[in-house]
């Protein structure tokens, strides 16, 4: 009978607080993840919006191609109308 009481007391005083402590730790850890995940989601959305201008790179590429083509034509004309530099030592 005495041992039974001792077992009950141990269960109430030791086991129950330990169980509650561990479960609260798990719950607090799980809840602390939620705001972090929400922030990551907002950052991912913002990053996706930042890339909305990425298709403009196609325009940039076309402009660069046209510019380089113009420079090449200009250089070709200059190559014709300007004499080459004299070789050093001549």
Partner 1 sequence: MLVVGLVAPAVVLIATVVLIVLALVYYLVSTIVALRRVAAGLDQVIDGVGEIVAKSAPVNEIVVAINQQLDAGVDLLEGLLVQKAGLSDAVGLIDGVYPGAAAAGLRNFPDSTEVEPPRIGEVYTKGTLTLARLGREAPVAAASPAGGEVLRNVEGGSLAARQLYPSVRHTSPEKLPRSPVIGTDAPVQYEERDDVGAPRKRLPAGGP
Q: In the Cβ-directed half-sphere of 1, how many Cα atoms lie within 13 Å?
A: 0
Give the binding-site size for partner 1 (rule: CB under 8 A). Answer: 50
26 binds partner 1 (CB under 8 A): yes
Spatial distance between the Cα atoms of 72 and 67, rounded to a whole number of angstroms: 8
DSSP 8-state secondary structure symbol assigned to residue 85? P
Spatial distance between the Cα atoms of 74 and 77, rounded to a whole number of angstroms: 5
Residues at the contact surface with partner 1, assessed by CB under 8 A: 1, 4-5, 7-8, 11-12, 15-16, 19-20, 23-24, 26-27, 30-31, 33-34, 37-38, 40-41, 43-45, 47-48, 51-52, 54, 57-58, 60-61, 64-65, 67-68, 71-72, 75, 78-79, 82-86, 88
């Amino acid at each position: 009978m005495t041992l039974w009481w001792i077992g009950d007391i141990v269960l109430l005083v030791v086991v129950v607080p330990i169980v509650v402590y561990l479960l609260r730790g798990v719950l607090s850890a799980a809840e602390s993840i939620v705001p972090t995940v929400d922030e990551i989601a907002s950052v991912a959305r913002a990053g996706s919006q930042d890339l909305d201008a990425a298709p403009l790179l196609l325009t940039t590429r076309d402009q660069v191609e046209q510019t380089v083509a113009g420079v090449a034509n200009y250089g070709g004309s200059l190559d014709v109308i300007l004499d080459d530099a004299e070789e050093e030592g001549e």
